[in-house]
Amino acid sequence: MELDFLANNKNAVSTIAKWYFEEWSYLMKENSIDEVEQNLQAYLNTDQIPLMILAKRGAEVLGVAQLKFREMDIYPEKEHWLGGVYVSKEYRGNRIAEKIILEVISIAQKLGVHTLYLQTEDLSGGLYRRLGWKPIEQVNYRGNDVLVMEKTIAR
């Protein structure tokens, strides 16, 4: 397995858009996979936010995560977010998400980010708590109960 930027794997955009739409369409403003694909074009960066990291084996995409700005509009002061963490169903349970998340944290640090935030529907914090994220608060956002968490990144 290797980790790489979406910008270096533009052919993966349609796969990721399909995953995102199937998993989270009930939360999205976008009404189609095509609209999600269009929005993912903003993530085709390697040295600035927003960007995406893929886990892949050869040409096959296994999982993905985003480093992005202001994911939740109720927190305009919280700038940098980890989001869109997704691993293909057949590859779950192999620590792929963990590896992608750690890579996103490393890149965020290189880009001068000091604090990262995320939201998760796993109110226990799950994997994120295990990786050192701290709960901030539980809120109902767009009709879903989520746990908002933060991680301070060492300088």
**pLDDT digit string (tens) for 113-129?**
999 999 999 999 999 99
**How many other C-beta atoms are found inside a 10 Å radius of the C-beta of residue 100?**
25
Kindly state the helix (H) or strand (E) to which residue 17 belongs, with its residue range: helix 13-24
Structure confidence by residue, pLDDT tens digits, 61-106: 999 999 999 999 999 999 999 999 999 999 999 999 999 999 999 9
The answer to whether residue 37 sits within a structural domain is: yes
Residue 138 lies in a domain: no
Which residue range(s) make up the domain with 71? 2-113
Q: How far apart are CA 110 and CA 155, in angstroms?
A: 9
> CATH number for the domain including 76?
3.40.630.30
155 falls in which pLDDT band (50, 70, 90)? low
What is the C-alpha to C-alpha distance for residues 41 and 62, in angstroms, rounded to an integer?
19
**pLDDT, tens digit, for every residue of 132-152?**
999 999 999 988 999 999 999
Q: Is residue 73 part of a domain?
A: yes
Would you say residue 96 lies in a domain?
Answer: yes
For residue 121, is it within any domain? Answer: no
Whether 144 maps to a domain, the answer reads: no
Tally of domains within the chain: 1
Residue 71 per-residue DSSP state = -
